[in-house]
């Protein structure tokens, strides 16, 4: 982590919602999702907010050796966004506690506030993290 990573960091990220980020595409094998409206899926919205946080802080990390993983999400989803609209994610890095980063986020689709809340990420050493995941995968393949 570089000394430039400081609480108060502000960032905006824009993303135009394509049809393949709507509810029916979240789990295509789900019959229930297939019957739902083609609006931005909450699952994809959470991913969009995570992406915005990653974009905001990567210049302040030793990327790609240092990366971040999401560990907590507390977001509302208060308005539907059809494909074609552009979501603007605004974020502020509220706190840094060691390797723990806490963000305040909000999203707007040009018509409505669609979401507001907090997101927590942890800075990881990518090689060590991937090594641990690989060990876990090997255990699962032996026991599964």
Q: Which of 22, 50, 108, 119 is catalytic?
A: 50
Is residue 29 flagged as an active site residue?
Answer: no
Is residue 77 flagged as an active site residue?
Answer: yes
Rounded to 5°, the CA angle 90-92-98 comes to: 145
Residue 121 assigned ligand-binding role:
yes
Token representation of residue 44: 């994809």
Token representation of residue 15: 């993303």
CA distances for 46 relative to 51, 66, 73, 97, angstroms = 9, 22, 8, 23
Is residue 50 flagged as an active site residue?
Answer: yes
The H-assigned helical ranges of 2-98 are 23-26, 31-34, 42-57
Q: Which of 22, 68, 77, 120 is catalytic?
A: 77
Residue 117 assigned ligand-binding role:
no
CA 141/CA 28 separation, integer angstroms: 26
Specify the 3-state DSSP secondary structure of 34: helix
Q: Which of 42, 88, 94, 106 is catalytic?
A: 42
Binding-site annotation, residues for substrate? 70, 121
Binding-site annotation, residues for CoA? 70
Binding-site annotation, residues? 70, 121
Which residues have a catalytic role annotated?
A: 42, 50, 77
């Amino acid at each position: 982590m570089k000394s430039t990573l400081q609480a108060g960091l502000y960032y905006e990220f824009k993303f135009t919602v394509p049809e393949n980020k709507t509810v029916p595409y979240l789990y295509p094998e789900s019959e229930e999702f297939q019957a739902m409206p083609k609006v931005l899926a909450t699952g994809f919205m959470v991913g969009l907010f995570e992406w915005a946080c990653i974009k905001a802080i990567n210049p302040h990390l030793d990327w790609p050796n240092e990366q971040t993983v999401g560990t907590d999400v507390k977001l509302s989803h208060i308005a539907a966004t059809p494909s074609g609209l552009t979501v603007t994610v605004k974020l502020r890095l509220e706190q840094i506690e060691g390797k723990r980063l806490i963000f305040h986020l909000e999203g707007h689709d040009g018509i409505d506030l669609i979401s507001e809340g907090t997101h927590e990420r942890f800075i990881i050493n990518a090689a060590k993290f991937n090594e641990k995941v690989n060990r876990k995968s090997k255990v699962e393949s032996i026991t599964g």
